[in-house]
Amino acid sequence: FPVTIRLQLTKPPIITNIMCCKDSKYNPIDVPIPMHLINVTPLLRPKLINSNLLAPTNEYIDPEQHTSTLYHLRVFFIVAILAKKKHIILPAFGCDFTFANPVPTIISMYRTLCSQYRVYFESITFAIVDTYLGESHRSNLYPLFVKAFHH
């Protein structure tokens, strides 16, 4: 399909070749799987409407930050499509306590992009780290992503 892309990122995506040598239970696999890692940096602690990252109505205060984040997420899909990849593994882009992006907004953006680009992939997978920082602090990212994508 014809695609014209002009990326205007503050930092270009970093594409690294890696080899997956273990399965999901960390057991060695017989034949390593070549993979490409695309690294795009999320916004660092943007100003949000609500300080609770998981608040259902949370959003960026600055509309340009919303647009910028959607653009950066789109890079994962476009780079994978241009590289003719049939499988993509996506991160919980900035949904941790370090970067502090609004989880519901990121999930909503991903839902839109997955719907738009799913025809180009055999599988779209999310790699979600459910951060545990003691009894009173748990990100609960995994259940939120499951709920959003498995209804």
3-state helix, strand, coil in the chain (%, to 5): 30, 25, 45
Helix, coil or strand: residue 89:
strand
pLDDT of residue 93: 87
Residue 96 has which token pair? Answer: 């941790």
The per-residue pLDDT for range 87-144, each reduced to its tens digit, is 888 888 888 777 889 989 999 999 999 999 999 998 888 888 765 545 555 567 878 8
Q: Decide if 127 contacts 87 (C-beta within 8 A).
A: no
Q: CA quadruple 145, 146, 150, 151: dihedral positive or negative?
A: negative
**Whole-model pTM above 0.85?**
no
